[in-house]
C-alpha cells in the first residue's frame, strides 16, 4: 500500500535545489518511492509531480496527463515515470497556457512553454529512451523538469499580471 507524502510548499529550500541523478536500475526502495509519488499525485488530482515536491531531491518525476476542467482536450495517458531527464531539443514555437502547482496552492499563472520538445530519459529499469512530446504533455513535462532544477512556473511568467488567484481564475474560466 503506497504512502501519501507531504507536499513541500514554495519557500522550502528543496524546491530551489538541483536534484541529484538516481541510480538505475531501480531497487525496491526507489520503486516504492515512485509508487508513493504516483499515489500522492493522484490524491492531489494532479497531472504530474516531481520528487523534490515531496522533499526528495532526486531527478525523478511523473507525467500523467488526463482531460481536466482546465484542459478538457488533454490526452489520457498511462503515468510515465521519468528518471534523469534531459531535454535535447525545443521547438521555436512557444505557447502560453495556464498552469497551477501543488507546491504553490491557490494561484494560476499564464506560462509560456515550448509547444514541442524531445527528451532523453531513463525508465526505472534503466532503459534509455528518447521521445518527442507536444501540447499539454510537453507542458507538464517541462513543468516537472523545471522542478528538478529548482525552477517553479512563477519564474517563467512574462509579467506578474499573468497571475490569477484560483477563485478569480475559476470565475473567468468557469469550465475549470
Q: Are 165 and 106 in contact (CB under 8 A)?
A: yes
From the list 8, 60, 70, 117, which residue makes contact with ligand K2U (rule: CB under 6 A)? 70
Please report, as residue ranges, which positions from 112 to 141 form the binding site for ligand K2U (by CB under 6 A). 139-140
From the list 26, 143, 148, 169, which residue makes contact with ligand K2U (rule: CB under 6 A)? 143
Q: Are 10 and 106 in contact (CB under 8 A)?
A: no
From the list 102, 110, 117, 137, which residue makes contact with ligand K2U (rule: CB under 6 A)? 102
From the CB of 130, what's the least distance to ligand K2U, in Å?
A: 22
CA 48 to the chain's CA centroid: 4
From the list 99, 119, 145, 148, which residue makes contact with ligand K2U (rule: CB under 6 A)? 99
Name the residue among 153, 166, 164, 167 with its Cα closest to residue 53. Answer: 153
**Pairing relation of β-strands 60-63 and 80-90?**
antiparallel
Kindly name the residue from 144, 158, 166, 168 that is annotated as catalytic.
144
Q: Is the dihedral of CA 78, 75, 4, 51 positive or negative?
A: positive
Q: How many CA atoms lie within 13 A of 111 on its CB side?
A: 23
Neighbours of 89 (CB within 10 A): 12
Stretch that binds ligand K2U, among 19-27, 47-55, 83-91, 119-127 (CB under 6 A): 47-55
Annotation says 144 is catalytic: yes
Q: In 135-153, which positions are buried (b, 16+ CB within 10 angstroms) versus exposed (e)?
A: bbbbbbbbbbbbbbebbbb
- Quick check: 103 binds ligand K2U (CB under 6 A)? yes
From the CB of 46, what's the least distance to ligand K2U, in Å?
A: 3
- Quick check: 5 binds ligand K2U (CB under 6 A)? no
From the list 47, 54, 80, 138, which residue makes contact with ligand K2U (rule: CB under 6 A)? 47
Binding site for ligand K2U (CB under 6 A): 46-50, 68, 70-71, 99-103, 139-140, 143-144, 147
Point out the residues that are catalytic: 144
Amino acid at each position: 500500500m503506497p504512502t501519501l507524502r507531504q507536499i513541500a510548499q514554495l519557500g522550502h529550500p528543496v524546491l530551489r535545489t538541483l536534484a541529484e541523478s538516481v541510480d538505475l536500475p531501480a531497487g525496491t526502495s526507489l520503486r516504492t518511492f515512485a509508487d508513493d509519488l504516483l499515489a500522492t499525485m493522484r490524491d492531489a488530482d494532479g497531472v504530474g509531480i516531481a520528487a523534490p515536491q515531496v522533499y526528495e531531491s532526486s531527478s525523478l518525476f511523473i507525467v500523467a496527463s488526463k482531460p481536466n476542467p482546465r484542459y478538457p482536450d488533454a490526452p489520457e495517458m498511462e503515468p510515465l515515470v521519468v528518471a534523469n531527464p534531459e531535454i535535447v531539443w525545443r521547438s521555436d514555437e512557444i505557447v502560453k497556457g495556464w498552469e497551477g502547482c501543488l507546491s504553490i496552492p491557490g494561484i494560476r499563472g499564464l506560462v509560456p512553454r515550448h509547444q514541442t520538445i524531445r527528451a532523453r530519459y531513463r525508465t526505472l529499469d534503466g532503459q534509455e529512451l528518447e521521445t518527442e512530446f507536444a501540447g499539454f504533455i510537453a507542458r507538464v513535462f517541462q513543468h516537472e523538469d523545471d522542478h528538478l532544477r529548482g525552477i517553479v512556473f512563477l519564474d517563467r511568467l512574462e509579467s506578474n499580471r499573468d497571475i490569477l488567484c484560483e477563485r478569480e481564475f475559476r470565475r473567468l474560466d468557469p469550465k475549470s
